Amino acid sequence: MVQNANIVDHFPWHDLSQETAWLAWRAAKNRAFEELRSIPPVEMDSLDSVNPQALQEIKRRCSTSNFAIYKVRHQPETVEKTGDALVRFASKLGLELSEDHRSAEDNGIVVLRTSAEPGKQGYIPYTSKPLNWHTDGYYNPSGRPVMSFILHCYEQAATGGENQLVDPEMAYLAMRDADPRFVRAMMLPDAMTIPENREEDGTIRPASAGPVFFPHPATGRLQMRYTARTRSIAWRQDGVTQEAADWLRQWLSSDDATTCNFRFQPGDGVVNNNVLHNRTGFESVSARAVLRVRFHERITEA
């Protein structure tokens, strides 16, 4: 178990002048990453039957590394029942305020699978194409950020559909090692802008400008808002911000990135504080179904 977890919880990441605190936090985060790569998923009998030790372990991993992989031995026989159980499971982690997403069911669940529905056309999550690096809800207005989400695999594709995950605090660590100016640029209130989007039905999603690194309002912990896409995105027009964006995109695609790789099987899932993630393409003929629910809170700290 990672020692001195309070170092991770209370590090003043937005103050780049505190060198001693930075070095202690950096060492603690690297230990947490190495531990997370070496331990198996948290096992549970079902989403509705989680023993206190497993629940505490999920919270601990999310506190130190911002995500926890779990494995459920028995899951409900339908997607709908699994979604309801997932919402009940989320509430045990302090997650109640689900995002009002355009494709969500009444319980907040979105089922990610290939779809020919008109409202889902043109959106890559509903295709078998690969998804580039991003955090969820990067296009949301600043008043409704996505702070956490759960992905749960109900059915996996025959081939492909793998995920990579990166703790945003590890991305911050690598960027600060590379050049502290990049971190300052990513904290600017207009660092990244997602332009306005107009739907075919006339619905308008207004432009969204904000920082890449920002503090959670209640805990102060680092949150991230990011996409590696190069179209329909505007970076702040100054040299350092442009360099920082290029550096981050290259780092995420390099062997240096502190990634954890998973190919979830039915009953597997990830609970996380909106970490960076991607997805490889998969066979479109496969009945792949992954349930997702997003929240406006962080997971309760251990």
What pLDDT is recorded for position 197? 77
For residue 286, what pLDDT is reported? 66
In the chain, the DSSP E strands lie at 42-44, 67-72, 110-112, 131-134, 148-155, 163-166, 192-194, 197-198, 204-205, 208-210, 213-215, 222-224, 234-235, 260-262, 268-272, 276-279, 289-295
Average pLDDT estimate for 13-35: 96
Q: Which two tokens stand for residue 74?
A: 């028995």
What percentage of the chain exceeds 90 in pLDDT?
76
Cβ pair 132, 228 in contact under 8 A:
yes
pLDDT, tens digit, for every residue of 131-189? 999 999 999 988 899 999 999 999 998 889 899 999 999 999 999 999 999 999 999 99
Q: How many CA atoms lie within 13 A of 129 on its CB side?
A: 10
Per-residue pLDDT tens for 217-232?
999 999 999 999 988 8
Highest mean pLDDT among 49-58, 113-122, 125-134, 138-147 belongs to 49-58
**Residue 103 pLDDT more than 60?**
no
- Please give the Cα distance from 89 to 92 (Å, whole number): 5
Pairwise CA distance, residues 253 & 144, whole Å: 29
Q: How far apart are CA 301 and CA 5, in angstroms?
A: 11
| Mean pLDDT confidence for 223-250 | 96
Q: Could you tell me the pTM of the whole model?
A: 0.93
Which domains are assigned to the chain? 5-295 (3.60.130.10)
